[in-house]
Amino acid sequence: MFPEYDIIVVGAGHAGCEAAAAAANLGSKVLLVTMNMQTIAQMSCNPAMGGIAKGQIVREIDALGGYSGIVTDRSMIQFRMLNRSKGPAMWSPRAQNDRMLFAATWREILEKTPNIDFYQDMVSSILIRNGKACGVVTGLGHQIHSKAVVVTSGTFLNGVIHIGEKKFGGGRVAEKAATGITEQLVSLGFESDRLKTGTPPRVDGRSLDYSKMDEQKGDEEIVGFSFLEEEEQRDGKERLKPGDQRSCWISYTNQAVHDLLKTGFDRSPMFTGRIEGVGPRYCPSIEDKINRFADRERHQLFIEPEGWNTVEIYVNGFSTSLPEDVQYQALRHVPGFENVRMFRPGYAIEYDYFPPTQLSHSLETKLIRNLFFAGQINGTTGYEEAACQGLMAGINAHQQVRNLDPLILKRSEAYIGVLIDDLISKGTEEPYRMFTSRAEFRTLLRQDNADLRLTETSYRLGLASQVRMDKIVEKRAKIDKIRSILADFAINPEESGQFLLDQKTSVLTQKQRANQVLLRPGIALAPMIEALPRLKAALPDASAEIVEQAEIQIKYEVYIEKEKDLVRKMSQLEDLLIPETFNYDQLPSLSNEAMQKFKRIKPRTLGQASRISGVNPSDVQILMVYMGR
């Protein structure tokens, strides 16, 4: 019934979709196994992509040839660039999406991708022979053989849903949990644990009074996520226009809401101990917020539409597992929600994960060769974190079955590299979420230059297309041309006086190079070009994207070079490889904690060893001295 596949991908969430697409586009024959063909690429929680640091990840996925950026652009109903008031390293794109269109677009792309087959069934175990994964066993008893397996199980492994005192198995509301894989892997020596996440109620937008809320409109300029041009990425579909965007809305809880929520604390699975898994620190439930931050009089809620053609609303900030009646009564006291009708209550879900220190940087497990994990099975939270792991696991599974070197991104190359290195080196005991503060080289890892950083690497691998590579070559040439022109172009005091006064900066007393004028605080290149006719004539074909990139490179050149210098210094540690067979027992002067963690994690380099939680600089020095000998 089934041929032998190169790669089987278990699960069709964000990680599974990217894994299947990447491996197939590289040339592997892929089977994507999912428990429900109707929920491929389901946005299980909020209908949005991107945000702080997450937007950078989506642009990196796109630069590498993944599809999350394209799917997001095709299905967005609102776009915003966050943190515009800060420096470019902090700018983060975010889109509100049509939930159903997002999933339908992903499925359409996958079905049009050669080399991908689909099968609907639960995977109950992994076929293992001679220490290698070689296929899967499904709930219907089918044995399907492959050369590698990528597990992207999301919240389905032994998932349990909690709503007040109600508790039932499920990987998502109205969908059954997956069983068998955890038990098998634990019997083979894997370590597993439990995590928890949650989701808020969905409500009827027709029952809300928006006049009592603050409107949050989209940006006038829609940048999007994909670096491909509109005609290249949208497949004939019209791009979202600024005036067509759907608004989101902001409301707030109050003391009455908090008091009503507290009436359900005695039935809360979180407070009564029925939930054992650790929840996300940076996206706590509303009951957790009012309990931990008792001094706060109110908490912000984002009222987010679920799509173009639905009245369903996602109440972002009101994640809860309290009883339905408590959720409903508390919601009715939120301004604008007085007559709210609830489509379905919020709930919490517990699920199995495998601490990611059991993986190598390729996302292959250390215990079983050719077995890869990606997404929430590794302890992460968020679509973007899952998608980028899926992309990397799909790439590296393909590389593995063809005996090629894995693609491992450094911390200085991508947020994806930071995320994977954090997971592998430090592990996580709570759902991991990416932030810009986790990246020590964030001036280099901006959302605007993800294509310049990563596309060439992906092109050499065979994933990024020729179209993408041609665009990079052209883009670099245009940026260099602008920088060269600005370095040579002299601005006269007479022609620039009014512009500089309008920008509230001192006028010139003598000619000055355009790139030096641009270094002044508050001066932006685009308005400077518009205000100075001679400069505009010298740059007749400069697009907004190229102008912005040239401006960033000029303004932040000193900081960029400082970070590059730091990367060069730190790379000395990254270049010092530790043999897999290294015997740490030879180093009795290591601290006990360092000894235990080195043996368990088996760091690839001294750089990775230095980032392991609990390892002191003195432990790294001891290791360095011994290796030097």
Q: 202-345 — its CATH code?
A: 2.40.30.260
Judged against a pLDDT cut of 80, whether residue 578 lies above it is answered with: yes
Question: Residue 460 has what pLDDT?
Answer: 98
Region 408-418 average pLDDT = 96
Question: Residue 230 has what pLDDT?
Answer: 59
Q: 576-628 — its CATH code?
A: 1.10.150.570
Residue 481 bridge partners (DSSP): none
Question: Residue 615 has what pLDDT?
Answer: 85
Region 527-551 average pLDDT = 92
Query: Dihedral angle at the C-alpha atoms of 456, 458, 463, 466, nearest 10 degrees?
Result: 0
Residue 27 gets the label, from left (phi > 0), alpha (psi -120 to 50) or beta, of left
CATH 1.10.150.570 residue window(s) in the chain = 576-628
Q: Residue 357 is encoded by which pair of tokens?
A: 């220190």
Judged against a pLDDT cut of 80, whether residue 237 lies above it is answered with: no
Domain 466-560 is found in CATH 3.40.50.2300: no
**CA proximity to 349, closest of 103, 158, 151, 99:** 158
Residue 470 gets the label, from left (phi > 0), alpha (psi -120 to 50) or beta, of alpha
Summarize pLDDT for 582-610 with one digit per residue, the tens.
Answer: 899 988 888 888 898 899 888 988 889 88
Residue 302 bridge partners (DSSP): 250, 316
Domain 5-198+351-461 is found in CATH 3.50.50.60: yes
Question: Residue 187 has what pLDDT?
Answer: 98
Query: Dihedral angle at the C-alpha atoms of 471, 474, 480, 485, nearest 10 degrees?
Result: -130
Question: Residue 540 has what pLDDT?
Answer: 78
Question: Residue 629 has what pLDDT?
Answer: 60
Judged against a pLDDT cut of 90, whether residue 524 lies above it is answered with: yes
Q: Residue 319 is encoded by which pair of tokens?
A: 């994640």
Question: Residue 580 has what pLDDT?
Answer: 84
Question: Residue 574 has what pLDDT?
Answer: 82
What contacts 389, CB < 8 A, 6 or more positions away?
15, 152, 363, 374, 375, 378, 380, 419, 420
Summarize pLDDT for 345-402 with one digit per residue, the tens.
Answer: 999 999 999 999 999 999 999 999 999 999 999 999 999 999 999 999 999 999 999 9
What integer best gives the mean pLDDT of the chain? 94
Region 201-223 average pLDDT = 97
Judged against a pLDDT cut of 60, whether residue 508 lies above it is answered with: yes
The maximal CA–CA distance of the chain, rounded, in angstroms, is: 83
Q: How is residue 87 annotated by DSSP? A: -
85-89, 169-173, 375-379, 539-543: which has the highest mean pLDDT? 375-379
CATH 2.40.30.260 residue window(s) in the chain = 202-345
Cβ atoms of 181 and 124 closer than 8 Å: yes
pLDDT: which is higher, 529 or 276: 529
Question: Residue 236 has what pLDDT?
Answer: 53
Judged against a pLDDT cut of 90, whether residue 412 lies above it is answered with: yes
Which pLDDT band holds residue 235 (cuts at 50, 70, 90)?
low
Where do we find the tokens 């809620």?
Answer: 301
Region 413-439 average pLDDT = 94
Question: Residue 120 has what pLDDT?
Answer: 98
Percent of the chain with pLDDT over 90: 83
CATH 1.10.10.1800 residue window(s) in the chain = 466-560
CA of residue 80 relative to chain centroid, distance = 17
Which pLDDT band holds residue 145 (cuts at 50, 70, 90)?
very high
180-189, 261-270, 541-550: which has the highest mean pLDDT? 180-189
Which pLDDT band holds residue 276 (cuts at 50, 70, 90)?
confident
Q: Phi first, then psi: what are they for 139, rounded to 5°?
A: -60, -30
Q: What is the DSSP string of 532-585?
A: -HHHHHHSTT--HHHHHHHHHHHHTHHHHHHHHHHHHHHHHHHTSBPPTT--GG
Question: Residue 616 has what pLDDT?
Answer: 83
Question: Residue 1 has what pLDDT?
Answer: 82
CATH 3.50.50.60 residue window(s) in the chain = 5-198+351-461
Judged against a pLDDT cut of 80, whether residue 233 lies above it is answered with: no
Where do we find the tokens 């634990």?
Answer: 186
Q: How far apart are CA 623 and CA 614, in angstroms?
A: 15
